[in-house]
Amino acid sequence: MSKQEQELIELSQLSSVVGCGAPLAREPIPAEQAIDLSRAFKALGDPVRLRLVSLIASHDGGEACVCDLTAGFDLSGPTISHHLKVLREAGLISGERRGTWVYYRVEPAALARLSDVLAIEQGVRA
């Protein structure tokens, strides 16, 4: 094995450890990675869930409880909770119970991974 081949293998192992995705324009996404990524994109494929992620991420201290989130929507508490569960199962947010409330935070690494996959090099931006 050449030194270059060895380096390529090490790089690909490193990449799978940190969970970053190569931009989709660099090479075809493998089927398994596509299943994983598409689950996260599907979770964002709903306007309420996208707004919830944005509300949590932009909230003071980077966290928000359901009590902070319901005001912005004409939806019931259980409906908001359902959407939060979908986001949680997709790995985009995490929740921690403290007293009466569960406090939600976004998972920066998960959002960054999706952002990186869609990143198009500046030169080819329309």
CB of 37 to its own copies, least distance (A): 6
CA dist 90 and 92 (Å) reads: 6
**Contact criterion met (CB below 8 Å) for 114 and 77:** no
CB of 53 to its own copies, least distance (A): 6
Radius of gyration of the chain (CA): 18
Q: 97 - beta bridge partners? A: 102
1 sits near its own copies (criterion: CB under 8 A): no
Phi/psi at 70 (nearest 5 deg)?
-70, -30
| Contact window for its own copies (CB under 8 A) among 3-11, 38-46, 79-87, 95-103 | 38-46
Phi/psi at 36 (nearest 5 deg)?
-65, -50
Out of 12, 14, 72, 79, point to the residue binding its own copies (CB under 8 A): 72
87 sits near its own copies (criterion: CB under 8 A): no
CA angle 8, 9, 14 (to 5 degrees): 95
Out of 11, 14, 35, 67, point to the residue binding its own copies (CB under 8 A): 35
Out of 27, 60, 61, 98, point to the residue binding its own copies (CB under 8 A): 27
125 sits near its own copies (criterion: CB under 8 A): yes
Q: 104 - beta bridge partners? A: 64, 95
Residues in touch with its own copies (CB under 8 A)? 24-29, 31, 34-35, 37-39, 41-51, 53-55, 57-58, 62, 72, 106-109, 111-112, 114-120, 124-126
